[in-house]
Structure 1
Amino acid sequence: MNKRFALFASAATLAAALAAPALAAPETYVIDNTHTFPRFEYSHFGFSNQIHRFNTTKGTIVWDREARTGAVDITIDTTSVDTGYALFDEHIQGEDFLDTANHPTITYKSTAVRFDGDKPVAIDGELTIKGVTRPVTLTLTSFHSMPHPMARKPALGANAVAQIKRSEFNAGKFAPNVSDEVTLSIAVEAIQQ
């Protein structure tokens, strides 16, 4: 009798496992460089807030909506800095600021993604500028996921902001006249591989 019960229990367990819906797996999205532009904003002698951007960004976003987990890995080409003025682009790329000759990239690698319900709301990670790595949290001000109408693949997009001090990354020349505090804002779109 015990043998029959064990056989029945094993068969029932196997049937339940086969009937269970497949668990969602993490999905990998590739950064769309034509719609992803990290920007930085700072006070220029109190006259105005200047906003510049980087034109070349690559990376991946991994998202598991069921498990509420994710990962972000972004690389920014510092030589693509765009101030709207070529001479100033060269100035920003110099040793006092980005030092692109020795540090041609800025990287951001997540350590955790925080969710509110099903939606990611913040990303904790490590930002590396000029070879200096510091923890930085990006706050998501928006997040959207849907099929991309042109690419016809799943896609996602977000806007994220963070505050940093450039002096903490060995780029603090002219502070406090040119503000040490810099607002980073990233508009990102990515398409599933």
Structure 2
Amino acid sequence: MIRIAPALAAAILVSAPAFAAPEAFVLDPGHSQIVFSYNHLGYSTGYGMFGGIEGQVQFDEADPAASSVEVSFPVKSMLTGWQARFDHFMSADFFDAADDEMVSFKSTGIEVTGEKTAKITGDLTLNGVTKSVVLDAVQNQYGEHPMEKKMWTGFSATTTLLRSDYGLGSFAPFISDEVALEISIEAGKVE
């Protein structure tokens, strides 16, 4: 049976046959993160991470393509490992982020590509700009969580964004316009 739990914050219900219905899973923010990387002047690769990810997956085990995901997280949850870099990213050169500014993703379609893989298409809103992106997703595990004693899922995904698509292209091409994203999430079934 194909099992895909796409993840990336309010529930969105997808119609399904009467014999099957999507079930709600809530992201575990303590075990969900997005790591990003970019080339810095050809000398090094810069890394950062976003945390504080909240959201919900509507998972249809019988028909994974009928599943959906909606998530969001604060821009200022970014971790860079160096305060001066964080301050620069939050400046007018890049995000010029307000304290409550959010990044959000809402799926618009899921194409199942294998037993545990899918392409998740959705609308990513970043820096006030919304663009369609495709995530290459893999379900890592699905089953009862040994400590939570309820159904749980874990999933990974990757994609590449162009900073300039979101009005964040300062210093390109010296600092690469392409930013690689690695997403890892866990989500527990709502009971």
Q: TM-score scaled by structure 1?
A: 0.84
Match of 1:121 among 95, 102, 118: 118
Q: CA deviation at 1:103?
A: 6.7
Aligned pairs (5 A) from 1:89-168: 89-101=86-98, 104-116=101-113, 119-168=116-165
1:39 & 1:71 partners in 2: Cα distance? 22
Listed as ranges, the gaps of 5+ residues in structure 1 are: 1-21
Match of 2:38 among 39, 42, 46: 42
Asked which structure has the greater CA Rg, the reply is 1
- After superposition, the Cα gap between the structure-2 partners of 1:88 and 1:161, relative to the gap in structure 1 and judged at 3 Å, is same
Higher relative contact order (CA 8 A, sep 6+): 2
- After superposition, the Cα gap between the structure-2 partners of 1:149 and 1:163, relative to the gap in structure 1 and judged at 3 Å, is same
SS of 1:177's equivalent in the other structure is coil
Provide the residue aligned with 1:3 in structure 2.
none
Alignment-mate amino acid for residue 35 of structure 2: R
Aligned pairs (5 A) from 1:80-91: 80-91=77-88
Q: Which has the higher helix share?
A: 1
Deviations 1:14-62 (A, max 9, x none): xxxxxxxx82321111110000011111001111111100121101111
**1:32 is the counterpart of 2:23:** no
1:143 & 1:116 partners in 2: Cα distance? 15
Q: CA deviation at 1:143?
A: 3.2
Contact preservation (8 Å) 1:164, 1:182: yes
Provide the residue aligned with 1:8 in structure 2.
none
1:117 & 1:46 partners in 2: Cα distance? 36
Count residues with an aligned counterpart: 172
1:36 & 1:123 partners in 2: Cα distance? 17
1:176 & 1:103 partners in 2: Cα distance? 30
Alignment-mate amino acid for residue 96 of structure 1: D
Contact preservation (8 Å) 1:65, 1:118: no
Q: Which runs of 4+ in 1 moved over 3 A?
A: 116-120
Alignment-mate amino acid for residue 65 of structure 1: E
Provide the residue aligned with 2:8 in structure 1.
none
Listed as ranges, the gaps of 5+ residues in structure 2 are: 1-17
Cα RMSD, aligned residues only: 1.6
Provide the residue aligned with 1:55 in structure 2.
51
More divergent stretch after superposition (91-100 vs 36-45):
91-100
Q: CA deviation at 1:119?
A: 3.4
Contact preservation (8 Å) 2:116, 2:139: no
1:29 & 1:39 partners in 2: Cα distance? 22
Provide the residue aligned with 1:67 in structure 2.
63
Q: CA deviation at 1:102?
A: 7.4
